Amino acid sequence: MLGALSLNASALYFDGGLTGTTGPDGYRGSKLDLVIGTDNLAFEPSMATYSSDDWDKTFRTYGLRVAKETSVYTFGVEAGMTPETDYAANKSYKNQYAGADITFSLSPTSGGHSRLAGPGSHGSVGSGDGVTRIDVGASAKYTAHTNTVANTDLKTGQGQGSLYAGAKIFMVNLAASYTGYTYGDNDAQVLINPVPGHNFAYDAKPKSSVNVRLDIPSTVPMVTPFVAYTGTKYKAGVDNSNAYLFGAYVDLKMVSVNVAYQIFDDGDKNHSFVTLGAGVKF
């Protein structure tokens, strides 16, 4: 009996992280991500907050992803919501979303629970010789956005599909993704809709986005620097944007810390966002 309990306990793992982001116009964001799993099943609750001088109140988004993990693939489903928030006089916003993702490891003998790209990517894989790991996958998500203006509901349905891939090549980890968006009625303003690769929320309707990220593990003992680029096209005459991310994280086995600086070019001027984070895993 004691042996069985010990075996079950050893199969459990935990990975949690908290990040905070600051930006222009009083922007403040935070994200709490938790992963609680066993050998082949993971539960991933999350909570994010967004506030700005442009909004009277703070938006909060709650989510849960459940994933089946094997050495060959990871399949996940997720759902979440931003409760109705009165962000200005006679104006409120809310959303609900649901989605699914699947990732295949073409070299399943290397790495652990984390993938190199997609929703299952929680970290990097160490360096090696040649191309030692390739992960590929796809995800789909639907979000229902609702604005209430003077007691009138304005709604917009948003479909989001992504293709992504990651590879460990010699001493670097390279990941890339493409995301396309479709919309139903375009009445509602999309306030909380983070684009993959952005460390902040931008109130615009994206049409498509491309994200590329390069991690260089073991450049300095325990320190992994990274760089990333995100290019996004928008609807409704909003200028295309470019975002450039520079940062590093320190992995102390059970504890990790990270820092990132992102330059966001909205087509008119540049904006700077700084992110700090810390995590624990066992």
Backbone angles phi, psi at 66, to 5 degrees: -120, 130
Q: How far is CA 8 from CA 4, 70, 241, 280, in A?
A: 6, 17, 48, 21
Tell me what the pLDDT averaged over the chain comes to: 89
Q: How confident is the model over 12-31, as pLDDT tens digits?
A: 889 999 999 999 999 999 99
Q: Note the pLDDT of residue 112.
A: 54
Confidence tier at 11 by pLDDT (50, 70, 90):
confident
DSSP string, 48-117: EEEE-TT-SS-EEEEEEEEEEE-SSEEEEEEEEEEEEEEEETTEEEEEEEEEEEEEEESSTTS--S--SS
pLDDT at res. 109? 54
User: Quick one: which of 194, 197, 225 has its CA closest to 211?
Assistant: 197
Please indicate whether residue 109 or residue 106 has the higher confidence score (pLDDT): 106
Amino acid 131: pLDDT: 60
- If pLDDT is split at 50, 70 and 90, which confidence band does 107 have? confident
- C-alpha span between 171 and 77 (Å, rounded): 32
What's residue 129's pLDDT?
A: 47
2-281: CATH topology is: Porin (2.40.160)
How many angstroms separate the CA atoms of 256 and 87, rounded? 35
Q: pLDDT at residue 9 above 80?
A: no
> Could you tell me which of 221, 230, 123 has the C-alpha nearest to residue 166?
123
Mean pLDDT of 96-123: 78
pLDDT reported for residue 43: 96
- Tell me what pLDDT residue 16 has: 93
Which pLDDT does position 185 carry in this prediction?
79
pLDDT one-digit tens code per residue, 75-89 = 999 999 999 999 999
Sign of CA dihedral 282, 16, 115, 219: negative
Q: 186-227, pLDDT tens digit by residue?
A: 778 889 989 999 999 998 999 999 999 999 986 677 899 999
Tokens encoding 48: 């994010």
* pLDDT tens sequence across 121-162: 765 444 444 567 889 999 999 999 999 998 889 999 999 999
What whole-number distance in Å separates Cα of residue 244 and Cα of residue 165?
Answer: 20
pLDDT above 70 as % of the chain: 90
Quote the pLDDT of residue 124: 47
Q: What is the pLDDT of residue 220?
A: 75
